[in-house]
Amino acid sequence: MDHKRDKDQDGEVEKITAVLLKSRSGEFDLESILFLKLRSVGIHDLGCIGECINLERLDLSGNNISNLAPLGSLRLLLVLNLSSNRISNLEPLRTCDALQNLNVAGNVINSIDSLYCLQSLRKLESIRLKDNTYNYTNPVCRNSSYRSVVLEMFPNIKVLDGERVVGRGSDLYQLCKDIDDTIKAGICKNGQLVEHPDCRPWVEDTYWEIKRSNNTIIEEAYKQFNDVLHECRLLNNRATHVISQTERSMSLKKQSKQYAI
């Protein structure tokens, strides 16, 4: 028991328990939990997570999960992140009727047949089976017809692997692009920018500012948005460091060649 307590204190948990769920969420009852993030904590057994029947957003990325059976009772789940686990069977997810966004990049899903169980999820709008940012993929993605077959299987899907797809899901994107192109064409004449002093913005300057609210859903979305921004900053810093190291290495090699001559 002491060993288990030490592992919990270090952030490592092998099985999801009621105590863990309550401590991580701050909720007294499992049925009160709406959002849950258990990222990269060593989980391989989902335990009692199926008792969180009102769960809407769940992040279990970066664990050792292979059996999704306990997730089958989460009928209100909207967003599910299972990236970087050991999943090959998605069958239990067929009863997650409300699911809109599913990320299973970085698992061991081998064939297109493994995806047919998701066709019953009529509200599914986004599926991710590979993520180039983190170099996550699945064996099924090596299939030459993978993308076309998946789009045929899910005609209502709007986003596949982080990219907006052709069809109804891209109408808004195309509309915005057309409007943008029209505006640019209207303010340019003979290749020169034409000023229009009478132009006014469509909305007030403060219209797009994020306004905080007591609504828990908006609060969670705000937090997740900040998480994404933080990850982007980390990636940018990492890229800058790699570029700097590469330039330094190339400079040293150039100097050594000069000395050799």
In a domain, 181, yes or no: no
Residues 163 and 226 in one domain: no
Give residue 23's pLDDT.
92
Could you tell me if residue 74 is inside a domain?
yes
Determine which of 77-86, 141-150, 153-162, 166-175 has the lowest per-residue pLDDT on average.
166-175
**Which range (40-44, 62-66, 204-208, 236-240) has the least confidence?**
204-208
Compare 144 and 49 and report the one with higher pLDDT. Answer: 49
Residues 75, 133 within the same domain: yes
Q: Which two tokens stand for residue 182?
A: 């029209």
Distance CA 221, CA 101 (A): 14
Percent of the chain with pLDDT over 70: 70
Query: Considering only CA atoms, which of 54, 43, 53 is closest in space to residue 20?
Result: 43
* pLDDT value of position 9: 43
Is the CA virtual torsion 150, 121, 226, 68 positive or negative? negative
Q: Are residues 136 and 238 in the same domain?
A: no
130 plus 257 within the same structural domain? no
Instruction: Please say which residue of 175, 199, 234 terminates a domain.
Output: 175
With respect to residue 147, please indicate whether it lies within any of the assigned structural domains.
Answer: yes
Query: Are 155 and 27 members of one domain?
Result: yes
Shared domain for 24 and 146, answered yes or no, is yes
pLDDT value at 6 more than 50: no
Residue 227 is part of which domain span?
A: 216-261
pLDDT, the chain, mean: 81
Biggest CA–CA distance in the chain, Å, is: 78
- Nearest Cα residue to 220 out of 8, 18, 4, 26: 26
Lowest-confidence region among 68-82, 93-107, 222-236: 222-236
Domain membership flag for residue 99: yes
Q: Which of 175, 200, 225 is the last residue of a domain?
A: 175
Tell me the whole-structure pTM to 2 decimals.
0.64
The reply to whether 90 falls in a domain is yes
Same-domain status, 129 and 229: no
Q: Which of 141, 117, 119 is nearest to 129 (CA)?
A: 141
Q: How many domains does the chain have?
A: 2
Q: Based on the number of CB atoms within 10 Å of its own CB, is 151 exposed (0-12), middle (13-18) or buried (19 or more)?
A: middle
- Please report whether residue 202 resides in a domain: no
> Over the stretch 159-203, which tens digit does the pLDDT of each residue have?
999 888 855 445 555 555 566 666 656 555 555 555 555 556 665
**Could you tell me if residue 155 is inside a domain?**
yes
Q: Are residues 235 and 128 in the same domain?
A: no
Q: Do 243 and 170 reside in the same domain of the chain?
A: no
CA–CA dist 182, 104 (Å, integer): 39
Chain segment 13-47, per-residue pLDDT in tens? 899 999 999 999 999 999 999 999 999 999 999 99
CB-based contacts of 187: which residues, under 8 Å, 6+ apart?
Answer: 193, 194, 196
